[in-house]
């Protein structure tokens, strides 16, 4: 059986499966994480690219400023030179081509005004009139070398060649429309260095205005070297600005190549560029870091929260699922769970042919306990039943509570009829043992319908229906037994439905008759009483035996009306037989009616029948359930003067409990013991035991179904007080009894074949 712990394991198994919430959580968390990750990457990429872009813009600007500074320097030098050489003082007279004349004057003028490394004055015949280096008198070698290198430039200025020499870059140029050489500034490699070369023509008196070819010119040369570069660097805030040759520079430094018009590098400069982007980046990195860390913490918290929420919801889901599939009172699987499992078992049987069967268990008299002792006791009883069932069955059998007092079991032990009956017998025996709940002793019964699941099994609903039909049969056959479904029951079911309708009409229309069977004193000579028995002469089917219609009446509740009518009729008829006991059968359902005693009292009053002549026959199953209320009702009946007989003794529980506890006046030994009294030694022993038991407890003992003289003799010898059976009289109309007591001794007992024919 699937016990409580294993149910919990079931629940855990459920929880390990991915639930809808898990999938939903993945559906939310994964995109969320992706979005957050993409956002973080975007922020980082944006910061890096904008920093890089800012650095590029800054570098472009530095390059531009640097070039502009060089150009400015050239323009400035050119204008200064021009202003000096254009002055009248510089170039007056005709001593321009003469050493020691105008050139010296010009050099002297230039000296404070221009920052230069060389001054060269070239005469009209392209001879050096004057050369000065770094303020000192020039040495001829340096001047000659310098002159040789600017010669091609001079040729260009004088118009001898159209093109500018290679590796010379024009920085600025004066008005070229005028005759003669126009002033200009150039960048030009010179003496292994890069130099700013400025050129200006020396003016002559207007009268002998020379051609460009013959015009004397002044050249100044300023090497772009450390001092100039550091000036520019300081002004432009270019760190570490320097001229480089082919040496490698640190990775952070920028190398700027100055190219001529052929894009051939003529000089290389390097400086450490400003990196505003990197600086900004550096300053914001900590904040970005903090923000990302915050982001991560937040994401972590959100995830943790979601995980916890998910866990709570998953637990809730599992709990809900558990509640949806289990009975809240006893924790057993409910009908839904049972049906699901049954479908699975049916599928398994079809696939693998494994044995399986369903037990449909119905508790007898549970409702009674609930009604009389209250629901708390009823609930406790259900829990006790659950516990007993759990202990009786195997671990892998499934027990479910289908409703009120209905349980069902799926067992895979066997599909063999005998084995299933044995298991069912064990269940019944366990469930029928007395319960002690809240100080009350409770005895209930149990009936079981068995349906074997075979490979032709339809579905769960059909199997349950089969088990239900078998259960009905078990109840009809006297309860506390198990019946296995067979196909005949299907036909029975529809038959029963029709019969139930007919019975209802018969009871309402007084279609049922009451017959009486006499019972005698021990000698069998004197009628001491009669037992009222119901008869149903069916208009179509003929006489229907009580064994067929009484169960239908009990199942449908019609027995209440039927029972009351028989009782009333028996009281009315019994008045004609003074001194005779009138016994009436009482069905368990009738007896358990809360107002049963009142009903008896009323009928006695209405019919004016002597209560002391009325004997009510109860069976053991009538007493099941709430023993206290049964006992109380019996005492009330006894107080009215009514006598009580325990019918069919030996077939049911035969518990001494009933004999000891309940105030029975009479014990009726069941017919089955009498039947084989002469042949089966153990039956004889049982009869002896029952008789001495009854006598010991002060009860009268009656033997039912006495058919032969031998049985009569045996029973008489055993000490039985009364005899009932075909030997002494078959059930017949009231008139038969009236006639019989009117002429005692006329009745001839029937024996042998005749009795057997009647019994059949
Ligand atoms: P029961 O109370 O044990 O009634 C005795 C049954 O045994 C009767 O069957 C009777 O005809 C039968 N019988 C009597 N002597 C002999 C005999 O020598 N040999 C054989 N083979 N049978 C004998 P019946 O009338 O068919 O009733 C069957 C059962 O139906 C009764 O068993 C009783 O439990 C129930 N029953 C009948 N009438 C009523 C009724 O009005 N109310 C209730 N609640 N049950 C009734
Ligand atoms: Ca009886
Ligand atoms: Ca009986």
pLDDT digits (tens, 9 = 90+) for 160-204: 877 788 888 888 888 776 767 788 898 888 888 888 888 888 765
Mean pLDDT is lowest, of 81-95, 432-446, 652-666, for 81-95
Residues 241 and 233: beta-carbon distance below 8 Å: yes
Closest-lying ligand 1 atom to the alpha carbon of residue 515:
25
Residues 449 and 502: beta-carbon distance below 8 Å: no
Q: Which of 542, 448, 520, 537 is nearest to 704 (CA)?
A: 520
Alpha helices, DSSP H only, in 237-365?
276-325, 335-352
Residues 449 and 483: beta-carbon distance below 8 Å: yes
- Sequence-ordered list of residues with C-beta below 8 angstroms from that of 590, at least 6 positions apart, any chain: 559, 560, 563, 564, 596
Closest-lying ligand 1 atom to the alpha carbon of residue 759:
21
Coil, helix or strand at residue 483: strand
Identify the residue whose C-alpha is closest to ligand 1 atom 45: 585
Instruction: Kindly give the pairing relationship between strand 614-618 and strand 581-585.
Output: parallel
Domains and CATH numbers, the chain: 86-224 (3.30.450), 326-485 (3.30.70.270), 513-759 (3.20.20.450)
Strand ranges (E), 43-145: 118-122, 128-133, 136-137
> How far, in Å, CA of 449 to CA of 475, rounded?
9
Closest-lying ligand 1 atom to the alpha carbon of residue 586:
44
Q: Is the pLDDT of residue 366 over 60?
A: yes
Report how far ligand 2's centroid is from the alpha carbon of 66 (Å).
131
> How much is the average pLDDT of 332-343?
93
Identify the residue whose C-alpha is closest to ligand 1 atom 4: 533
Report how far ligand 2's centroid is from the alpha carbon of 531 (Å).
7
Closest-lying ligand 1 atom to the alpha carbon of residue 563:
42
Report how far ligand 2's centroid is from the alpha carbon of 550 (Å).
12
| Ligand nearest to the Cα of 566, by number | 1
> How far, in Å, CA of 743 to CA of 586, rounded?
31
> How far, in Å, CA of 447 to CA of 429, rounded?
11
Report how far ligand 3's centroid is from the alpha carbon of 619 (Å).
8
Strand ranges (E), 45-152: 118-122, 128-133, 136-137
Radius of gyration of the chain (CA): 64
Instruction: Please write the tens of the pLDDT for every residue from 511-527.
Output: 999 999 999 999 999 99
Report how far ligand 3's centroid is from the alpha carbon of 647 (Å).
5
Q: Which of 552, 636, 550 is nearest to 593 (CA)?
A: 636
How high does pLDDT run on average in the chain?
85
Instruction: Kindly give the pairing relationship between strand 700-703 and strand 666-669.
Output: parallel
pLDDT of residue 141: 67
SS3 content of the chain, % helix, strand, coil (to 5): 50, 20, 30
Closest-lying ligand 1 atom to the alpha carbon of residue 534:
38
> How far, in Å, CA of 369 to CA of 242, rounded?
111
> How much is the average pLDDT of 21-42?
74
Report how far ligand 3's centroid is from the alpha carbon of 718 (Å).
19
Q: What values do phi and psi take at 300, rounded to 5?
A: -60, -45
Which has the higher per-residue pLDDT, 11 or 673? Answer: 673
Residues 725 and 715: beta-carbon distance below 8 Å: no
Most confident of 80-89, 462-471, 601-610: 601-610
> How far, in Å, CA of 502 to CA of 451, rounded?
29
Report how far ligand 2's centroid is from the alpha carbon of 647 (Å).
6
Q: Which two tokens stand for residue 616?
A: 């009510």
Q: Is the pLDDT of residue 37 over 60?
A: yes
Q: What values do phi and psi take at 88, rounded to 5?
A: -60, -40
Report how far ligand 3's centroid is from the alpha carbon of 704 (Å).
6
> How much is the average pLDDT of 542-564?
93
pLDDT of residue 101: 67
Residues 642 and 616: beta-carbon distance below 8 Å: yes
Report how far ligand 2's centroid is from the alpha carbon of 649 (Å).
10
Identify the residue whose C-alpha is closest to ligand 1 atom 24: 546
Report how far ligand 2's centroid is from the alpha carbon of 615 (Å).
10
Q: Is the pLDDT of residue 88 over 70?
A: no
Identify the residue whose C-alpha is closest to ligand 1 atom 3: 648
Q: Which two tokens stand for residue 679?
A: 């042949």
Identify the residue whose C-alpha is closest to ligand 1 atom 17: 705
Question: Could you identify the residue written with the tokens 């239908």?
Answer: 552
Tell me the residue length of the chain.
760
Identify the residue whose C-alpha is closest to ligand 1 atom 33: 585
Question: Could you tell me which residues are beta bridge partners of residue 201?
Answer: 217
Strand ranges (E), 539-632: 542-544, 581-585, 614-618, 625-626
| Ligand nearest to the Cα of 617, by number | 2
| Ligand nearest to the Cα of 560, by number | 1
| Ligand nearest to the Cα of 749, by number | 1
Closest-lying ligand 1 atom to the alpha carbon of residue 617:
2
Which has the higher per-residue pLDDT, 83 or 563? Answer: 563
pLDDT of residue 421: 94
Coil, helix or strand at residue 409: strand
> Residues with beta carbon < 5 A to ion ligand 3?
647-648, 704
> How far, in Å, CA of 147 to CA of 135, rounded?
17
**Band of the pLDDT at 47, cuts 50, 70, 90?**
confident
Residues 454 and 333: beta-carbon distance below 8 Å: no
**Hey, how many other C-beta atoms are within 10 angstroms of the C-beta on 343?**
14
pLDDT of residue 125: 75
Pocket-testing residue among 479, 543, 546, ligand 1, by greatest number of atoms within 8 A of Cβ: 546
Q: Which two tokens stand for residue 658?
A: 């009933």
| Ligand nearest to the Cα of 668, by number | 3
> How far, in Å, CA of 469 to CA of 474, rounded?
9
pLDDT of residue 7: 34
Report how far ligand 3's centroid is from the alpha carbon of 613 (Å).
19
Which has the higher per-residue pLDDT, 12 or 592? Answer: 592
Strand ranges (E), 501-567: 513-521, 527-538, 542-544
| Ligand nearest to the Cα of 702, by number | 3
Q: What percent of the chain has pLDDT over 70?
A: 89
> How far, in Å, CA of 432 to CA of 448, rounded?
12
Identify the H or E element spanning 71: helix 20-86
Report how far ligand 1's centroid is from the alpha carbon of 593 (Å).
22
Identify the residue whose C-alpha is closest to ligand 1 atom 12: 705
Identify the residue whose C-alpha is closest to ligand 1 atom 34: 585
Q: Which of 521, 524, 522 is nearest to 751 (CA)?
A: 524
pLDDT of residue 260: 84
Instruction: Please write the tens of the pLDDT for every residue from 627-685.
Output: 888 899 999 999 999 999 999 988 766 667 778 889 999 999 999 999 888 888 888 88
pLDDT of residue 106: 73
> How far, in Å, CA of 532 to CA of 578, rounded?
16
Instruction: Kindly give the pairing relationship between strand 193-201 and strand 445-453.
Output: unpaired
Identify the residue whose C-alpha is closest to ligand 1 atom 30: 546
Report how far ligand 2's centroid is from the alpha carbon of 729 (Å).
15
pLDDT of residue 342: 94
Per DSSP, 210 falls in state P
H, E, C per residue of 218-269: EEEEEECCHHHHHHHHHHHCCEEEEEECCCCCCCCCEEEEEECCCCCEEEEE
**Hey, how many other C-beta atoms are within 10 angstroms of the C-beta on 622?**
25
Pocket-testing residue among 478, 533, 570, ligand 1, by greatest number of atoms within 8 A of Cβ: 533
Instruction: Please write the tens of the pLDDT for every residue from 399-420.
Output: 999 988 999 999 988 888 899 9
Q: Is the pLDDT of residue 13 over 60?
A: no
Identify the H or E element spanning 188: strand 184-190
Report how far ligand 2's centroid is from the alpha carbon of 188 (Å).
144
| Ligand nearest to the Cα of 711, by number | 1
Identify the residue whose C-alpha is closest to ligand 1 atom 19: 705
> How far, in Å, CA of 605 to CA of 555, rounded?
29
Q: Which two tokens stand for residue 175?
A: 């008005």
Q: Is the pLDDT of residue 749 over 70?
A: no
Q: Which two tokens stand for residue 382?
A: 């259900």
Q: Is the pLDDT of residue 73 over 70?
A: yes
Which has the higher per-residue pLDDT, 2 or 189? Answer: 189
Mean pLDDT is lowest, of 85-99, 112-126, 155-169, 270-284, for 85-99
Q: In what order do the strands lie in the sheet with 356-364?
A: 398-403, 406-411, 356-364, 445-453, 482-484
pLDDT of residue 1: 35
> How far, in Å, CA of 222 to CA of 232, rounded?
14
Which has the higher per-residue pLDDT, 484 or 395? Answer: 484
Buried b / exposed e across 628-645, counting CB within 10 Å, b at 16+?
ebbeebbeebbeeebbbb
Identify the residue whose C-alpha is closest to ligand 1 atom 10: 731
Identify the residue whose C-alpha is closest to ligand 1 atom 21: 759
Report how far ligand 3's centroid is from the alpha carbon of 183 (Å).
152
> How much is the average pLDDT of 213-241?
85
**Class of residue 289 by CB neighbours under 10 A (exposed 0-12, middle 13-18, buried 19+):** exposed
Q: Which two tokens stand for residue 628?
A: 């206290």
Identify the residue whose C-alpha is closest to ligand 1 atom 15: 725
Report how far ligand 2's centroid is from the alpha carbon of 588 (Å).
13
Per DSSP, 445 falls in state E
Provide residues with CB under 6 Å of ligand 1.
517, 533-534, 545-547, 550, 563, 566, 585-587, 617, 647-648, 671, 704-707, 724-726, 731, 759
Report how far ligand 1's centroid is from the alpha carbon of 37 (Å).
89
Taking the alpha carbons at both ends of the chain, their separation in whole angstroms is 44
pLDDT of residue 9: 34
Pocket-testing residue among 529, 554, 585, ligand 1, by greatest number of atoms within 8 A of Cβ: 585
Report how far ligand 2's centroid is from the alpha carbon of 732 (Å).
15
Pocket-testing residue among 590, 704, 708, 757, ligand 1, by greatest number of atoms within 8 A of Cβ: 704
Instruction: Please write the tens of the pLDDT for every residue from 273-309.
Output: 988 888 888 888 888 788 888 878 887 887 888 888 8
Question: Could you tell me which residues are beta bridge partners of residue 583?
Answer: 531, 615
Residue 325 to residues 333, 358, 508: CA-CA distances in angstroms?
6, 19, 44
How many contiguous H segments (helices) and E segments (strands) does the chain have?
Answer: 24, 27
Q: Which two tokens stand for residue 660?
A: 């000891």
Mean pLDDT is lowest, of 115-124, 184-193, 363-372, for 115-124
Question: Could you tell me which residues are beta bridge partners of residue 357?
Answer: 411, 452
| Ligand nearest to the Cα of 590, by number | 1
Closest-lying ligand 1 atom to the alpha carbon of residue 545:
26
Mean pLDDT is lowest, of 206-210, 366-370, 497-501, for 206-210
pTM as predicted = 0.56
């Amino acid at each position: 059986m699937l016990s409580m712990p294993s149910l919990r394991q079931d629940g855990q198994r459920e929880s390990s499966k991915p639930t809808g919430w898990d999938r939903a959580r993945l559906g939310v968390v994964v995109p969320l994480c992706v979005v957050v990750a993409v956002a973080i990457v975007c922020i980082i990429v944006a910061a890096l690219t904008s920093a890089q872009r800012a650095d590029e813009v800054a570098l472009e600007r530095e390059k531009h400023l640097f070039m502009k500074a060089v150009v400015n320097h050239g323009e400035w030098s050119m204008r200064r030179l021009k202003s000096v050489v254009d002055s009248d003082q510089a170039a007056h007279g005709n001593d321009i081509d003469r050493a020691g004349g105008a050139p010296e004057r010009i050099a002297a003028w230039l000296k404070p005004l221009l920052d230069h490394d060389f001054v060269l004055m070239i005469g009209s015949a392209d001879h050096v009139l004057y050369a000065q280096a770094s303020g000192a008198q020039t040495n001829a070698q340096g001047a000659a070398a310098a002159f040789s290198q600017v010669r091609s430039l001079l040729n260009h200025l004088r118009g001898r060649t159209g093109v500018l020499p290679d590796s010379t870059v024009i920085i600025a140029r004066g008005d070229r429309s005028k005759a003669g050489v126009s002033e200009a500034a150039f960048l030009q490699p010179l003496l292994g260095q890069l130099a700013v070369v400025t050129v200006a023509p020396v003016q002559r008196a207007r009268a002998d205005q020379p051609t460009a070819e013959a015009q004397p010119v002044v050249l100044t040369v300023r090497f772009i070297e450390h001092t100039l570069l550091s000036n520019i660097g300081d002004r432009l805030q270019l760190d570490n600005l320097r001229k480089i040759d082919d040496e490698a520079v640190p990775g952070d430094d920028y190398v700027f190549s100055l190219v001529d018009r052929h894009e051939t590098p003529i000089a290389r400069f390097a400086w450490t560029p400003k990196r505003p982007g990197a600086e900004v980046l550096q300053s914001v990195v900590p904040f970005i870091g903090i923000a990302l860390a915050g982001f991560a913490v937040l994401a972590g918290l959100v995830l943790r929260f979601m995980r916890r929420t998910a866990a709570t919801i998953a637990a809730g889901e599992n709990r809900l699922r558990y509640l949806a599939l289990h009975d809240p009172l006893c924790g057993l699987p409910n009908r839904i769970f049972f049906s699901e499992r049954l479908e699975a078992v049916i599928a398994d049987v079809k696939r693998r042919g494994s044995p399986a069967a369903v037990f449909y268990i119905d508790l007898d008299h549970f409702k009674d306990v609930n009604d009389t002792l209250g629901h708390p006791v009823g609930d406790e009883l259900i829990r006790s039943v659950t516990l007993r069932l759990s202990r009786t069955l195997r671990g892998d059998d499934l027990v479910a509570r289908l409703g009120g007092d209905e349980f069902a079991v799926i067992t895979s032990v066997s599909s063999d009829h005998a084995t299933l009956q044995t298991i069912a017998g064990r269940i019944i025996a366990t469930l029928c043992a007395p319960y002690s709940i809240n100080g009350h002793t409770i005895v209930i019964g149990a009936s079981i319908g068995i349906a074997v699941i075979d490979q032709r099994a339809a579905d769960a609903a059909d199997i349950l229906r089969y088990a239900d039909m078998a259960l009905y049969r078990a109840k009809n056959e006297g309860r506390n037994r198990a019946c296995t479904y067979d196909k005949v029951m299907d036909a029975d079911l529809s038959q029963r439905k029709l019969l139930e309708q007919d019975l209802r009409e018969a009871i309402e229309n007084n279609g049922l008759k009451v017959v009486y069977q006499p019972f005698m004193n021990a000698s069998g000579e004197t009628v001491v009483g009669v037992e009222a028995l119901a008869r149903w002469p069916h208009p179509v089917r003929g006489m229907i035996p009580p064994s067929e219609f009484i169960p239908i009446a009990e199942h449908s509740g019609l027995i209440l009306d039927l029972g009351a009518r028989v009782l009333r009729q028996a009281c009315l008829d019994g008045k004609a037989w003074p001194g005779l006991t009138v016994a009436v059968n009482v069905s368990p359902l009738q007896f358990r009616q809360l107002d049963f005693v009142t009903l008896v009292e009323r009928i006695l009053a209405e019919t004016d029948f002597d209560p002391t002549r009325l004997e009510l026959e109860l069976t053991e199953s009538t007493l099941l359930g709430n023993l206290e209320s049964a006992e109380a009702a019996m005492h009330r009946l006894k107080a009215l003067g009514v006598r009580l007989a325990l019918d069919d003794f030996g077939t049911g529980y035969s518990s001494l409990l009933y004999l000891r506890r309940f105030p029975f006046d009479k014990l009726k030994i069941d017919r089955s013991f009498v039947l084989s009294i002469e042949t089966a030694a153990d039956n004889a022993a049982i009869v002896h035991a029952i008789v001495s038991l009854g006598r010991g407890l002060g009860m009268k003992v009656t033997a039912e179904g006495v058919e032969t003289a031998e049985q009569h003799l045996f029973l008489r010898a055993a000490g039985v007080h009364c005899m009932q059976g075909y030997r002494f009289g078959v059930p017949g109309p009231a008139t038969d009894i009236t006639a019989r007591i009117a002429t005692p001794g006329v009745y001839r007992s029937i024996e042998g074949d005749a009795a057997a024919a009647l019994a059949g």
